[in-house]
Amino acid sequence: MRYLPLTDSDRSAMLDVIGAPDIDALFLDVPEEARISGPIEGLPMHASEMAVEKHMRRLSKKNLAAADAAFFLGAGAYKHHIPASVDHIIQRGEFLTAYTPYQPEIAQGTLQMLFEFQTQVARLYGCAVANASMYDGSTACWEAVAMASRIARGKKRKVVLSGALHPHYAEVVRTMAKFTDDEIAGAPPSLTAKPDDEGLIARIDEDTSCVVVQYPDILGRLPDIAKIAEAAHERGALLIAVNTEPVALGAVKSPGELGADIVVGEGQSIGVGLQFGGPYLGLFAVRDEKHVRMMPGRLCGETVDAEGKRGFVLTLSTREQHIRREKATSNICTNSGLCALAFNVHMTLLGEKGLRRLAMENHRLACLAADRLAKVPGVKVLNDAFFNEFTLLLDGDARAIVRKLTKQNILAGVSLGRLFPGNDGLTNGLLVAVTETTTEEDVETLAAALEEVLA
Amino acid sequence: MRYLPLTDSDRSAMLDVIGAPDIDALFLDVPEEARISGPIEGLPMHASEMAVEKHMRRLSKKNLAAADAAFFLGAGAYKHHIPASVDHIIQRGEFLTAYTPYQPEIAQGTLQMLFEFQTQVARLYGCAVANASMYDGSTACWEAVAMASRIARGKKRKVVLSGALHPHYAEVVRTMAKFTDDEIAGAPPSLTAKPDDEGLIARIDEDTSCVVVQYPDILGRLPDIAKIAEAAHERGALLIAVNTEPVALGAVKSPGELGADIVVGEGQSIGVGLQFGGPYLGLFAVRDEKHVRMMPGRLCGETVDAEGKRGFVLTLSTREQHIRREKATSNICTNSGLCALAFNVHMTLLGEKGLRRLAMENHRLACLAADRLAKVPGVKVLNDAFFNEFTLLLDGDARAIVRKLTKQNILAGVSLGRLFPGNDGLTNGLLVAVTETTTEEDVETLAAALEEVLA
Amino acid sequence: LEEPLLFEIGHIETTGVDFDFAGKLDLAGVEQPQPPSPAPSSRLGGFERTEPIGLPGLSEPETVRHYTRLSRQNYAIDLGLFPLGSCTMKHNPRLNEKIARMPGFADVHPLQPVDTVRGALEVINELAFWLIHLTGMHGVAMSPKAGAHGELCGILCIRAALEARGDAREVILVPESAHGTNPATAAFAGYKVEDIPATPEGRVDLEALKARLGPDVAGVMITNPNTCGLFERDMKAISDAVHEAGGFVYCDGANFNAIVGKVRPGDLGVDAMHINLHKTFSTPHGGGGPGSGPVVLSEALSPFGPLPYTARTGDGVVHLVEEEDAESFAKEHFGGPLQHFGRMTAFHGQMGMFTRALSYILSHGADGLKQVAEDAVLNANYVLRSLDGVLDAPFGPSGPCMHEALFSDKGFADGLSTLDLAKALIDEGYHPMTMYFPLVVHGAMLVEPTETESKAALDQFIVALRSVAERAKAGDESLRTAPHYAPRRRLDETLAARRPMLAWNDPDLA
Amino acid sequence: LEEPLLFEIGHIETTGVDFDFAGKLDLAGVEQPQPPSPAPSSRLGGFERTEPIGLPGLSEPETVRHYTRLSRQNYAIDLGLFPLGSCTMKHNPRLNEKIARMPGFADVHPLQPVDTVRGALEVINELAFWLIHLTGMHGVAMSPKAGAHGELCGILCIRAALEARGDAREVILVPESAHGTNPATAAFAGYKVEDIPATPEGRVDLEALKARLGPDVAGVMITNPNTCGLFERDMKAISDAVHEAGGFVYCDGANFNAIVGKVRPGDLGVDAMHINLHKTFSTPHGGGGPGSGPVVLSEALSPFGPLPYTARTGDGVVHLVEEEDAESFAKEHFGGPLQHFGRMTAFHGQMGMFTRALSYILSHGADGLKQVAEDAVLNANYVLRSLDGVLDAPFGPSGPCMHEALFSDKGFADGLSTLDLAKALIDEGYHPMTMYFPLVVHGAMLVEPTETESKAALDQFIVALRSVAERAKAGDESLRTAPHYAPRRRLDETLAARRPMLAWNDPDLA
């Protein structure tokens, strides 16, 4: 086996040192009736690199890669171009094969990177402090709800979800709340050109610990965070803003700037890639430093070493479960270190200038696409405003149309029918995302295909 | 431009320090009538990563990659599986972006690697000393001929080439000899089951500086190096053995062991890959240490530092052209450092055990393939003996048949017609190579297609 | 060499990316690309950014250099042995990195129509198959994003199963030697946590456990092999007792590396166990993640696993089952309602880790995986016995250890601690072992060499460890200020916690 | 940390590869693969290896660690500024590495039928097109494998052209400041080499050159910008004079980085010039190669270039012209016999470098390539002027330099040399500059920062260089034993040459 360095003669020599007659003598504590002897049944014997690579390539080729299609999917995961140097850097053995930086003297590479990452996320979100990443946007969203509960010390048990929150995020919150006895108030979104901010505000009451609103929302619209924040704060509730497309924040005001108390989101757009849904990168930030000790997840902080040199350490870990056990602020242990690095590197390559241009390029192409698609008979653009994703209303069941277009290598978007199963009022909705990777030909291809299928 | 770090304000600040009004003031020495102002005409403006990647991918897809075909080409370049860790290591910035190790104190990584590489090559070839690599097998072959001339001090001017030497190698030798007035004796190979060693020996005379013989030869046969070496030595000539498939040396005796004086070859099979012919890796070794100072190319040697620690340096560089100018032993300056690293790493992963198993697997599959193809009506196997490549004699023009099979994604081999244009006697010959990457299905595919096309 | 922060060297005006054409470059030598279509007026609804964000950029050359230099301040498995007990720092095969980047895995959207992602679903299903097979269980939940998330998933399954039978139990029992994540998880799921003591030989006290079992106990969370590096010999008896009392058995699978191919937790009565793909199945740790924590489930718990999941039907097709069709799918194929407890994350789990783990399993195969456990245990015992008489091994008399060797600070000179020894080990060129864990041993040092270390590497490590241990016993004061040769001397963690500086603030603006 | 040699840690019995199935792994869960077909008896003709080879192996974990640790003993551009004059150590874009690995480029055999490699031929032809365009020449030979090979190619073209007109000339003139490769190349091609002196301001002495021209002079080899870092102002006059005397002008293109997009050598009368793709066009140096040295040719020399070559015909198809069809192709498409001088290498040149260089050209484009030259020259002049009064710049008074700044050791304290300064620079964290070259300057130091260094990086480097220069002038004796902080102290190169140890020999066997 190419991954196992011991030779048979090593093994005998080592058994001699140990004083054991054979390997099985080391497994004496495993009850004999349960111990397996001989190779594992049913599994093939070890395989060469070539054999494994061929097998996996065969499976890979059974998927339609985004680059091989006219591609318009979004809904919380976006296809962006990732510079080649990002992957080069995350494959450096010193980053790839390092552990959690518990020994800071020999982990400054990871720690400084995390400190830079935290700063980038905090600034992007318009917040004071960000943590060192979480699993993904949906779990970060739940952690934010749980944090708001902690801050409310159990005195407020109601969580108000915007209807236009990503349905998977809402589902995660609902699932977890089942076990913590929080009450979740939510409803499917209504197909209006602007988000129903007034309706959301109307649901906030004195028992509300937090309000969760997505920006841009699941239909691509832009809710008025400032207004909702004001209303929430009036009733003593925290506003949690959720963002699933960080590139948007290169073009629009940050949620923190607009008054959100906790800002969470998915960081996948920057550096991480599609990867069929994971690993992704949960971003988590608080607008006000006073909430820091209530935050979940790891935090990296600046300090000095014995000689007074600047250095970085994991800090405030008394909040973490491996120390606090049942009093921890979250269940998270592993975070998304390597994805945070990818985000950090890609964001460094972009810089403010690059991020703004990237955002404007996304928006420009999305506007062109919306205008073009609106010209197709049977197609209506729902949104008044949007960033790089908008909702089409089709004369027909969007889900069936998406399936049909797949056969022409067009991945036309995400149907609202798939996102909100069982909501008959939404079945004609199709969520279309456009990024810098979308060409005008792609848009033409989609328009022509829609024209044909809707005729 | 993403690769150019200076900002416009940097540029002005720097011009101020220099005391120049503008950039063009620094190009004053370029005659004004020749100086280009403005962007280069005809060339597009700078392009994004995404644009360049798309353009190059489109060109890449216009080629049939070996992995997507039933593949049987050899003739000096072989398709082998290269472990993923080889590419990982050669992409380490410290290897990839380092220069020639002229400053040994900060280049021990490259230097120790070269020392290991030299040792591996010397052992594989059965020689005392190998150099730190050359451009490729064909130029290494020419350098060996030139070295033999140097050793003969111009007293012997005849070079005897085996007819079964790779025709490109022979062509390189002939081209260069035109300018050095060496006389080249050679002839196309004859289609016999065994190489014509006697005929070659008969051409060696007292004016012969060296004899060049390939092992295995271009038709896949194995010449009797020991016998030819003896004959050459009797007449005061050196024997140069050329090997284009290093994997073969895991199965058969090394040329050095059999008496060759200089052993050269192509190292591409180990670690480097096909790459449409380059960069490849020239291997060069001498059986006897006494010839070391006549060798071309770089040499890495062991020494000690000021504290007595072992270290490595480039040595005997007084032979090299950047020092010796017109008295240099070769024209080579750059070698194939990164390819040598790839060879070194792959050979380390293989080790003796792996190399032998790899060789035997190649040979086993080649034997099976030869037997299977021999059963096709209209196909005859020429070779008595072979390693992983053999010659088929077809009832028909091999070149046309190869072209025909291409349409079925079968890359059937290299026709002798292409290798030896203008030799009518060879047009039915087809050189077929089989490696560990060849599956039994591939062989069946080829056999079935040949059966059809020859029917 | 010190590397400044990005914020100290970058500029707002610098960028390492170019945006010029919408992906088009038509050459044939000379054609100039078309300028992009003009931008329509913005439709951002009045939310346009007006203020600077504060994100400096670097050109590509500066970026590559910044991170290359930063990386060199890290220790990593690629540089040397990484003996962190309970963390299983084994070699990460490079083949798996290559496979994870195949376009059919890396460049696929989670919401593509299922007909365009059949291969991805097959990967998930194939990995699921082997995880079930290797553990002797009945089902598996693939979506948990890491070990702790998997623990939570397992406990939620238990809670859902109990609720389904209307049995409201409130307590989870956790032995002293459990991972710190276990009690945190149980608390998060709404349970009261109670400790169970360990025996002097370092195992769960079976009698104490039995004594505590009762109708209020939802289950136990047990780590096996446990954190003392020992196999819980009484595992089957524990399971039987818990089951008899109406509870469930959760097993922390972080240490599965020691037993894969040697014993199947399912055969010992386990109901749920998470598997850290980044431990036993060697997906890279990456400086703290991403992880992946599939949870294998017994027949009793399988119906309660979360959505989404994959299932292969008789016709060989792999299905993706989500909220929409969970009910109908269960009815049609499993002959009953599926009682899933909900969704733990958006999308389907850590695909990028699944491809790597599956490649790992196929590469090792039936003989290799078993060898993994055997060599891991052999290496740990070799370290344990090679330090006889040098370091105190409190459970050494209990017999062979599993894949990690546990030592205490007994015999250290006054004032010198496990921490000092660990930091001195850095100067010897090694990452320290796990310290002060498990809590049952004073000044604990938990060494896990893993199976991917050669005997020569172990011998070198043993020499280094012996040397620092002897210095600790002799009272060498220089240990107190170690490390001396690392990129940093000891860092002031108290200061960091007292005055948290968690983001960079421009000192010029302060 | 020291890293032993492979031969000291490897074993003959260890391997890091597995061979088990001929590329087949059929899963569907449970199927065992077939055992391989039995081996027929060997057909090796009696040459079977019987003796051990002596090649130790390592497992994959050990291999990755060995080379990772070795790599960290290297300096590289990714770690810092690399001011080697004449070597153009600029950043290597990572995009180009990705592109070179696309299967259609990396996994194609050089002898595949041309219909299966049209894209590869297009890459060669497109790169050829831009190289001709950027240099203002008429043709290009793509197959030379590196700069020196390209020089040889150029000189052979000249020789072939002269022979074709029956003109047997014997002498090549080379200015003092030429690269050392130039005289070596001319000698290799069978020419006598004669030097031409430089003027005090560091350029070719035009009058001396003119005086030497005559019917025995085949041509001159000139480096422009020259190795003193100056542009040869009289280049056109030199060319005219050489042409008038019936000779040809070879230009060493190693320094093309300074003028790309600013001036075209073809406009200055050059007949042949090699281009180091690893310099101007940034293919990675890789610790000493591979290089790639295409040679652009004037109309007079183009017919004599080597085989094979590519050509795009009117129908847009790119052809590969080899021995077989060179004659007929030339007749049909160029209206005359093609007088190629033969073949310089097997196959078609350095494809892996072509893809990278083409990506580089397209990425930079019309504006970026010009900026490359401008920034390279700006950076060099900035270094030159920032050291005014610290280091002697012998040609400083000649005006601005091109892309490299030349200094001398004038003013160093007795007994301290350029070598000492260079080694001291290592302790400051930098690779030294080129030393003792060109020969026309005493203790020469040639600094080429390249355009991929930021102003901040240059400022830091200038501080370091200033500091060591001041120490050299002040007579700081510690310079003599520098470096002190590198992986090795000064190495004994004399010992290495006197008693060459060029391969590892087992000391146990000695």
Q: What average pLDDT does range B421-438 have in this prediction?
A: 95
Tell me the torsion sign for CA atoms A378, A383, A385, A389.
negative
Which residue in D has a C-alpha nearest to residue C72's C-alpha?
Answer: D72
Residues with Cβ within 8 Å of A217's Cβ and at least 6 positions away in sequence, in order, are A162, A164, A165, A189, A195, A223
Q: What pLDDT, on the 0 to 100 scale, is given for residue D363?
A: 96
Q: Which range is least confidently modeled, A163-177, A220-234, C310-324, D352-366?
A: C310-324
Q: Are A240 and A260 in contact (CB under 8 A)?
A: yes
Q: What is the DSSP string of C367-378?
A: HHHHHHHHHHHH
- Write out chain C residues lying below 8 Å of D91, CB-based: 60-61, 64
Which residue carries 């020239």 as its tokens? Answer: B282
SS3 C474: helix
pLDDT at residue A128, as a whole number:
96
Distance, CA of A39 to CA of D281 (rounded, Å): 54
Helix B49-61, helix D351-386: angle, nearest 10: 160
Closest chain B CA to residue D236? B31
Domains and CATH numbers, chain D: 96-356 (3.40.640.10), 365-495 (3.90.1150.10)
- Confidence at residue D184, expressed as pLDDT on a 0 to 100 scale: 84
* Whether the predicted interface score ipTM is above 0.85: yes
- CA of D454, closest CA in chain C: separation in Å? 8
Triad D307, D310, D315: Cα angle to 5°: 145
Mapping DSSP onto H, E and C, the string for C376-392 reads: HHHHHHHHHHHCCCCCE
Among B54, B57, B97, which would you mutate to test the A interface (most chain A Cβ atoms within 10 Å of its Cβ)?
B54
How many A×D Cβ pairs under 8 Å?
74
Residue C25 has phi, psi (to 5 degrees) of -150, 100
Evaluate if residue A42 carries a pLDDT over 50.
Answer: yes
**Chain C nearest C-alpha distance from A105 (Å):** 5
Q: What Cα–Cα distance (Å) separates residue C342 from each residue in A299, C141, C143, C159, C305? A: 30, 12, 11, 12, 8
Neighbours of D32 (CB within 10 A): 11
B-interface mutation test, from A4, A7, A49, most B Cβ less than 10 A away: A49
Q: Which helix (H) or strand (E) segment is A410 a member of?
A: strand A410-411
Closest-CA distance of chain A to residue D47, Å:
28
**Distance in Å, alpha carbon of A189 to nearest chain C alpha carbon:** 18
* Residue C432 with chain A: CB contacts under 8 Å: 103
Among all residues of chain A, which has the CA nearest to that of D13? Answer: A7
- How far apart CA A215 and CA A385 sit, in angstroms, is 12
The reply to whether residue D94 touches residue C60, judged by beta carbons under 8 angstroms, is: yes
Distance CA(A73)–CA(A264), nearest Å, equals 21
Q: What is the pLDDT of residues C23-57, one digit of tens each?
A: 445 544 334 445 555 556 789 999 999 999 999 99
**Contact call for residues B156 and B235 (beta carbons, < 8 A):** no
Q: Which residues of C touch D93 (CB under 8 A)?
A: 60
Neighbour tally for B377: CB within 10 Å:
9
DSSP conformational letter for D33: P
Q: Of the spans B148-157, B183-192, C67-76, which averages the highest pLDDT?
A: C67-76
Which residues is A211 bridged to in the sheet? A160, A239
Quote the distance between the C-alpha of residue B82 and its chain's center. Answer: 16
Enumerate the residues of chain A whose CB falls inside 8 A of the CB of residue C347: 76-77, 136, 138, 168, 276-278, 280
Backbone angles phi, psi at B161, to 5 degrees: -100, 135
3 state SS of A418: helix
State the DSSP string of B300-357: EEEEEBTTS-EEEEEE-GGGSHHHHGGG-S-S--S--HHHHHHHHHHHHHHHHHHHHH
The alpha carbon of residue A81 is apart from the nearest alpha carbon of chain B, in Å, by 7
Could you tell me the domains of chain A? 66-81+352-454 (3.90.1150.10), 84-346 (3.40.640.10)
**Residue of D465, A328, D202, D103 whose CA lies nearest to C188:** A328
Is A84–D11 a contact, with Cβ atoms under 8 angstroms apart? no
State how far the Cα of D293 lies from the Cα of D288, in Å rounded to an integer. Answer: 14
Element (H, E) at A301: strand A299-304
Model pLDDT, residue B325: 57
Q: Please tell me which of the candidates D1, D64, D129 has its beta carbon nearest to residue C94.
A: D64
Residue type, C385: R
pLDDT of residue C473: 97
The contacts of residue B383 (CB under 8 Å, 6+ apart) are B193, B219, B220, B221, B370, B390, B391, D43
The mean pLDDT of B345-369, rounded to a whole number, is 95
What is the token pair recorded at D42? Answer: 């060997």
Q: Chain C: give the shortest CA distance to residue D471, in Å.
A: 21
Q: Which residues of D touch A (CB under 8 A)?
A: 11, 13-21, 23-25, 27, 29-33, 58-62, 64, 68, 93-95, 97-98
**Mutation for B interface: A1, A9, A48, A361, most B CBs within 10 A:** A48
Pairing of strands A379-381, A389-394: antiparallel
**pLDDT of res. B38:** 85
Please report, for residues A82, C5, C287, C445, the alpha-carbon distance to residue A106 in angstroms, rounded to integers and kept in the order given: 29, 17, 12, 18
Q: Which residues pair with A79 in a beta bridge?
A: none
Q: Which chain D residues are closer than 8 Å to A46 by Cβ?
A: 18, 20
Q: What residues of chain C lie within 8 A of the CB of A334, using their CB?
A: 146-148, 278, 288-291
Chain B contact set for A48 (CB, 8 A) = 81
Report pLDDT digits (tens) over B386-397.
Answer: 999 999 999 999
Q: Is the pLDDT of residue A117 over 70?
A: yes
Which residue, B139, B132, B140, B134, is CA-closest to B299? B132
Which residues in chain D show pLDDT less than 70? Answer: 1, 20-40, 338, 508-510
Distance, CA of C402 to chain centre: 19
| Mean pLDDT within C364-380 | 96
CA D16 to CA D97: how far, in whole Å? 25
Beta bridge partners of residue A414, listed in sequence order? A431
What was the pLDDT predicted at D31? 42
The mean per-residue pLDDT over the stretch A208-232 comes to 97
Supply the DSSP symbol for C224.
S
- Tell whether the model's pLDDT for residue A327 goes beyond 90: no
Per-residue pLDDT tens digits for A195-204: 999 999 999 9
Token pair for residue A337? 């270190």
Token representation of residue B58? 């489109």
Nearest chain C Cα distance for residue A159, angstroms: 18
Cβ pair B84:C98 closer than 8 A:
yes
Q: In the predicted model, what is the mean pLDDT of chain A?
A: 94
Give chain D's length: 510
Find the chain A residues whose C-beta atoms sit closer than 8 A to any C-beta of B.
2, 48-50, 53, 81, 83-84, 88, 91-93, 349, 436-437
pLDDT at A320 over 80: no
Identify each DSSP E strand in D167-292 by its residue range.
171-175, 192-196, 217-223, 248-252, 272-274
List chain B residues with CB under 8 Å of D190: 179-181
Average pLDDT, chain C: 92
Pairs of residues, one from chain B and one from chain C, whose beta carbons lie less than 8 Å apart: 74
Is the bond into C337 cis (omega within 30 degrees of 0)? Answer: no
Rounded Cα gap, residues C436 and C445, in angstroms: 6
Chains contacting A (3+ CB pairs below 8 angstroms): B, C, D
Which chains border D (3 or more CB–CB pairs < 8 Å)?
A, B, C
- Helix (H) or strand (E) segment spanning residue B450: helix B440-454
| Nearest alpha carbon to residue B347 among A183, C281, D55, C205 | D55
- The dihedrals phi and psi of D491, each to the nearest 5 degrees, come to -95, 145
